[in-house]
Structure 1
Amino acid sequence: MIRLIVLLLKLSIVLSAREPKQINLANQGTISGMYITRFRTKRIAAYLGIPYAQPPVDYRRFMAPEYTDLPQWEGVKNATMFAPDCMQNDTNPLNKHDELFMKLLDSQMEEPRKKEYSEDCLYLNVYVPDDFKVEGYPTLVWFHGGGFVRGSPNNINPFQLVLKQKVIFVSVAYRLNIFGFFSTLDNEAAGNFGLMDQVASLYWVKNNIASFGGDPENVCIFGHDAGAVSVGLHMVSAYSAGLFQKAIAMSGNVLSPDTVNIARKELSTVNKVASAFGCFRKPTYQLLDCLRRVNYQALLDIGEPLADWKPIVDSGFSNVTGSFLPDFPSKLFKDEVFTPVPLLTGYTNMESALIFDKGENEDSGISQREFDVMREEIILSDITVDNSSCFTNQHHIQDAVAFFYKPIPPTSNETILRKLFLDFYTDKVHGATTYQLAKHVSKQAPVYLYRFDLKPFSDVANEGVPDRIAVPHNFDLIFTFGMPHLALPEDLGKWDYRDKSISEIIMKMWTNFAWYSNPTNSGVIIDWDAFEAEKPGFFIIDRQNFTMSTPQTINLKAFEFWTDFYPKVVEIGTKCCKESYEDSSADPILTQRMIHSLITLYFILIVLS
């Protein structure tokens, strides 16, 4: 009884405090935070804009982050304001799914958040439950999306997740576009600075999260879109090993096509950047000296459009430090060169539907011609043949894909063709890569796969999304972060009670994973089986039920086609072409054998289908 009174007294003192306790950060100083409150009695503690590395400005531009000698201060630092976002161009039009989701986020704010950008942007935010804890909280470290060229750690509101599920949430800013991913392809500027920023934040978490009540040995890296790709890259990078114990990757996959750049293709980028700013191309230390004197806004405005900025395979760039990404992620996972931690990953059933949506009436579809052209363009991007006059083998590859996805029986119904195209694209880009990643990781650690089919019931969440589209990119985050509970008081009634209930379940499963490495370990009476190569399965989240996949809900045969058969067709097709291009006097018997092999594979496909 006495212990209960003491506990209640402590809780009363905490709730009556005007601000949360001050935190002493290792080798930095003391910070004070603030409470974020809803309905007076519900609150969490927030510590915002905490520097986790030295500002990457002046001579630190295009360098790995400096996090062993951290920024320090005297007295108590006020950590109650967001830091500016990393430099990015917010005048470029957003994809439709991003535009609609940002509109929904903005509608839940009392006043629009002022957009501020700075090159000095290596800061993070820490959100902590405000109650009496009995053990160290797990920590979710959030890497935002935005295709590595835009995004903010400050857009997502984790209030409901932290309040109800008792986890610590850390959101991280990292360098983007040219600032985060320019490389001179040598030791002077190896690139991947944005990813190294994330590593620096994980070191900060490891050294400081215990002061916030967290368990430094229970850290779950968590990302969406490019943030999810980042999660996969940390699993294969030696830089990140030992800094996290679990991983959640949503709607982004490190094995997806064109995830990373390679040096051979980036030579032209270095030349373009040097030319754009009037710098000598070589030696590269002079190039960097020149670029570091360029005004940051000019560097963004002129440099950002010059390339498709993303992580790069940096093997051989430096003889001083090891590579962040020594090889293609697909090769590293295949060779089992990764950190085997429990993984929760998945995608929505119509990730890219709004990109391909023509914005016409509900019955609008695509013609057979449109279907064929779009499908062929996507396949052509996989065929890296230098000789553009070599067509025959490319046609064989196209025919193999066309055969697998052609409608049976044939149809001219444009609505059906639109659905077939979305299935093709989702299978290839999202489903098959998720399936392949699970096959690799599940050999050494538990993996939980999901597909999110559940469209919100609330009209306010579906505004601008055609009825024919189920769950586009971003819209699973509505449930993951409890958005139905975060609306302004006058808008709470706009959210359907079913969305509120479902959101509670999703948050519970995601944080169960952070606590216990199992999404249904506690407080959820649902069966979600771990993925096994002999018994592969996805957890299907839809309006009818939450259940494991069946042959009717997940086309595993399509995933096997993309991960096993299709690469063989591409390899043989492009090899024939390259051999005939590189050596016109090649042995005709060899060429015939290659063609025979391709034809054999093609007929195997027919039998499998």
Structure 2
Amino acid sequence: MKCKRRDFLANLAIFFHLVSSYGFIYVQCVDAPFIHIPGNGVISGTYLKMFRTQNVKAYLGIRYAHARRFQPPDIELTPWKGIFNATSFAPDCWQNPMPSVGRETEQILKIISSETNSDDGGRKYEENCLYLNVFVPDGLPEINGYAVVVWVHSGDFSTGSPADVNPFQLVFKQKVIVVTFSYRLNIFGFFTTDDGEAQGNYGLMDQSAALYWVKKNINLFGGDSNRITLMGHDAGATSVALHMTSGEWSKGGFHKAIIMSGNPLNAVKMPYEYEGSLDQVSSVFGCPRRPTSMFMQCLKRVDAKRLSENLPSVSWGPVVDFGLSNTSYPFIENQPEILFKKGSYHKVPVIIGVTDMEEVLTLFKDNLDTEISAADTEGFFSDIAVTDMHKLVRNYEWCSNYELITDAINFMYANESDQDVKKANKHIISAHTEKFYITPMQSFADMISNYSTVYSYLFKMRPRSVLQDLPSWISVPKYFDQVFVWGNPYMTNMVDWKSSDKRNSDIIMTLWANFAKTSNPTKSNVYIKWNAVTPNNDSVLLIDEAFNTDNLLNNQRIHFWKTLYPKILYYSADCCNSTMSGGSLVIVTTIPILCTLSIIVNIF
């Protein structure tokens, strides 16, 4: 580094900060090498420092495309004049207010972000928000360049920011480049109509535009354009899976995938499912609903801030957009599960995994110390049954066969010899995690293991240094694994980190970085056995203090959700359809009994 005066000031800051808080300090020194991006111009970056010897180079707030409302991104960028100052984060994309979360989730999110990505603690927003950030190790890269990790942020396609994580330690310790970026959210990113006027999936197209920029330019930063790993969490994980099936959109844009805490087989909405929501939007903003062209023109005139802050409650997200545009390829041609089953996807190596209690802090948000009763458990299972039946039958006026499904779920979860006082609580969260996360993970791994190398994991290790007041029955909720992935035990001054958390973080970062570099997570610097999934061995790495492996083929609950539950569901749905088509009350009362016998005969 050449900025000695700034080093002196930084050292003073370190001294006074250590005296006051015994923590870490995170400072910037603006002298990272200039980089010339052909066709755009020259950018200057910044050095991010921790202590005197820990540096990474950061190039922040670089535009990668333009966002015009309800249109695909425009990747043609006008050259800027002079030197672009890439030393601070750009505004985020407009989004819904952050949903209320519990104290524990809020605390872990603050730790993950390290609260260092914003100078004033506040965030700014704009609509033309397609910016990315490049974090580069300090020093000489490998012969072919650094491996690259492109991060797709968490959220629900309506919230989230690239500043939600701090990649400093992963970059510094593992010598990989990390790229984070913004993409359009909620109505700006996923507005769609079923008449071809609005294709939707603009947020996913933004992600592809970011990948295109990285593929084209990352070599200028010392990166290897042939070793790009796409990594995401939650909605970001779903996005990664959708890029695997995106056809021409992301073809060649990435070479490996890491899918964390997401369901890669999650059913994608159909455009017609937004009809009611669009009616609400039309009413709120006083826009004519028909014709669609007038509706869209009216919405385009609404100020972005007003549009974002006054949206009705809508679950915006990806849609099957086949046939919705004459000018763009479909991003999602069919349901992901169908595409993966028939092998219609980009065949890249994959790491996929979940925590063992993903949604526990959401399901039990303000009731972590409440002991759930057996009746509550059965009610929860009944809700699952009713929801799944409704998806198949779409009318349950006369249908009571969901009780059969409820009994089957209850049989699997409520007959254990578990002496824990929070037995019912565990049954609920186990059923939820195994149905919505672990089973899809295992099914996905089975589908692609014939064509791709896939490693699966189950995260069962919580940081020992934080949130030790969580009830003993709670294992690892969503987000807690990211503390290890991003090396937070080496970063934040908010926590007095235990050596065990630092050691385990080193292991996790090494596994993830090995995969980004070589496609093999155990290639070097780690002594762990992690077998790839094969058609005859659903091997899963149990990430706990022992780092042992297991085989999901031996898990009866997973086998239930994957094999038996769909059969019970479809038999019950068939019976309900028969019941509703009947002409007399006698048929209504007798058919459920016949269905029960049919299920027993056909399944067992």
TM-score, with normalisation over the residues of structure 2? Answer: 0.89
CA contact (8 A) 2:399 2:579 kept: no
Which of residues 463, 467, 490 in structure 2 aligns to 1:462?
467
Selected match of 2:230 from 197, 221, 232: 221
Contact 1:432 1:563 in 2 (8 A): yes
1:250 aligned residue (260, 268, 275): 260
**CA distance in 1 between partners of 2:300 and 2:182 (Å):** 21
Superposed CA offset, 1:458-498 (max 9, x none): 1xx2266333312110000000000000023xx56x10011
1:272 to 280, 283, 299: 280
Q: Match of 2:477?
A: 472
Question: Does structure 2 retain, via aligned residues, the 8 Å contact 1:185–1:191?
Answer: no
Distance 1:279 1:358 in 2: 37
- 1:27 corresponding residue in structure 2: 39
Contact kept in structure 2, 1:100 and 1:464, CA below 8 Å: no
Amino acid paired to 2:333: P
Amino acid at match of 1:506: I
1:40 equivalent to 2:52? Answer yes
- Please, which moves more after superposition, 479-488 or 278-287? 278-287
Q: 1-side partners of 2:560 and 2:394: how far apart?
A: 26
| Matching residue within 29, 37, 49 for 2:61 | 49
**Counterpart of 1:450?**
457
Give the whole-Å Cα distance in 2 for the aligned partners of 1:286 and 1:214.
Answer: 46
Tell me the amino acid that sits aligned with residue 379 of structure 1.
Answer: A
Equivalent residues in 2 for 1:186-335, closer than 5 Å:
186-238=195-247, 239-256=249-266, 259-303=267-311, 305-335=312-342
Structure 1 pair 91/476, CA: closer, same or farther in 2 (3 Å)? closer
Tell me which moved more, 93-102 or 324-333. 93-102
Q: 1:596 to 1:215 in 2, by over 3 A?
A: farther
1:94 aligns with 2:108: no
Structure 1 position 520, deviation (Å): 0.1
State the one-letter code of the partner of 2:432: Y
How many angstroms does 1:505 deviate by?
A: 0.8
How do 1:154-169 and structure 2 match up within 5 A?
154-169=163-178
Q: Which residue of 2 aligns with 1:549?
A: 550
Q: Does the C-alpha gap of structure 1 residues 30 and 567 become closer, same or farther in structure 2, counting only changes over 3 Å?
A: same
User: What whole-Å deviation, never above 9, does each CA across 1:84-112 have from its counterpart, x for those lacking one?
Assistant: 11112336423555422223346654965
Q: Distance in 2 between matches of 1:72 and 1:463?
A: 52
Quick one: distance in 1 between partners of 2:103 and 2:453? 35
Query: Alpha carbons of 1:516 and 1:595: their partners in 2 closer, same or farther (altered >3 Å)?
Result: farther
Q: What amino acid sits opposite 1:435 in the alignment?
A: Q
Which whole-Å CA distance do the structure 2 matches of 1:233 and 1:429 have between them? 17
CA distance in 2, matches of 1:199, 1:288: 24
What residue is the counterpart of 1:70 in the other structure?
Answer: 77
- Contact 2:92–2:124, Cα closer than 8 Å, also in 1: yes
Do structure 1's residue 369 and structure 2's residue 393 form an aligned pair? no
Structure 1 residue 309 displacement after superposition = 0.8
Letter in 1 for 2:37: L
CA deviation digits over 1:554-582, x for unaligned, max 9?
86322222122222222222233234435
State yes or no: 1:483 paired with 2:488. Answer: yes
Tell whether the 8 Å contact from 2:101 to 2:365 is kept in structure 1 after alignment: no
1:218 and 1:244 in contact (8 A); partners too: yes
Q: Would you say the 8 A contact 1:53–1:200 is kept in 2? A: yes
- Aligned counterparts, 1:577-596, within 5 A: 577-581=576-580, 584=583
How far off its partner does 1:358 sit? 5.9
Matching residue within 436, 439, 446 for 2:446: 439
Q: Deviations over 1:278-310 (max 9, x none)?
A: 22222212111110000112211222x341111
In structure 2, the residue matched to 1:392 is 400
* Cα distance in 2 between the residues matched to 1:480 and 1:542: 14
Distance 1:268 1:46, change over 3 A: same
Aligned equivalents of 1:358 and 1:236: distance in 2? 34
Aligned residue for 1:516?
518
Residues 361 and 139 (structure 1), Cα distance of their counterparts in 2 relative to 1, 3 Å cut: closer
* Match in the other structure for 1:378: 384
Report SS of the residue matched to 1:462. Answer: coil
Q: In 2, distance between residues paired with 1:397 and 1:235?
A: 34
The letter of the residue matching 1:266 is: Y
Q: Who is 1:568 aligned against?
A: 567
Taking the TM superposition and a 5 Å limit, the aligned residue runs for 1:116-131 are: 116-131=124-139
SS of residue matched to 1:21: strand
Following the alignment from structure 1 to structure 2, what is the Cα–Cα distance between the partners of residues 266 and 538? 38
Helix, strand or coil for the counterpart of 2:301?
Answer: coil
Contact 2:114–2:165, Cα closer than 8 Å, also in 1: no
Query: Using the alignment, how far apart are the partners of 2:187 and 2:291 within structure 1?
Result: 20
Which residue identity lines up with residue 560 of structure 1 in the other structure? H
Query: 1: distance between equivalents of 2:565 and 2:345?
Result: 25
- Quote the Cα distance in structure 1 between the aligned partners of 2:168 and 2:313: 38
Q: Which runs of 5+ in 2 are unaligned?
A: 9-28
Q: Structure 2 CA distance, aligned partners of 1:91 and 1:133?
A: 39
Deviation at 1:152, TM superposition (A): 0.7
Aligned residues of 1:186 and 1:316 also touching (Cα < 8 A):
no
Whether the 8 Å CA contact 2:115–2:121 is kept in 1: the answer is: no
Deviation at 1:389, TM superposition (A): 1.5
Give the aligned partner of residue 536 of structure 2.
Answer: 534
Letter in 2 for 1:466: P
CA distance in 2, matches of 1:31, 1:107: 26
Report the 3-state secondary structure (helix = DSSP H, G, I; strand = E; otherwise coil) of the residue aligned with 1:280: coil
CA separation in 1, counterparts of 2:551 and 2:579?
45
Q: Is the 8 A contact 2:111 2:492 kept in 1?
A: no
Is the Cα–Cα contact under 8 Å of residues 138 and 214 in structure 1 kept in the other structure?
Answer: yes
Q: CA deviation at 1:169?
A: 0.3
TM-score relative to the length of structure 1: 0.88
Aligned residue in 2 for 1:5? none
The code of the aligned residue for 2:236 comes to G
Distance 1:445 1:356, change over 3 A: same
CA distance in 1 between partners of 2:229 and 2:50 (Å): 27
Equivalent position amino acid for 1:495 in 2: W
Q: How far apart are the structure 1 equivalents of 2:538 and 2:351? A: 14
Q: 1:598 to 1:233 in 2, by over 3 A?
A: farther
Q: C-alpha displacement at 1:223, in angstroms?
A: 0.3
> What CA distance in whole angstroms lies between the structure 2 residues aligned with 1:96 and 1:443?
43
May I ask how many residue pairs the two structures share in their alignment? 574
The worse-fitting range, judged by mean Cα deviation, of 317-326 and 74-83 is 317-326
Deviations 1:293-351 (A, max 9, x none): 00112211222x34111111112222333311111111111222111110001011111
Q: Secondary structure at the match of 2:32?
A: coil
2:112·2:486 contact (CA, 8 Å) conserved in 1?
no
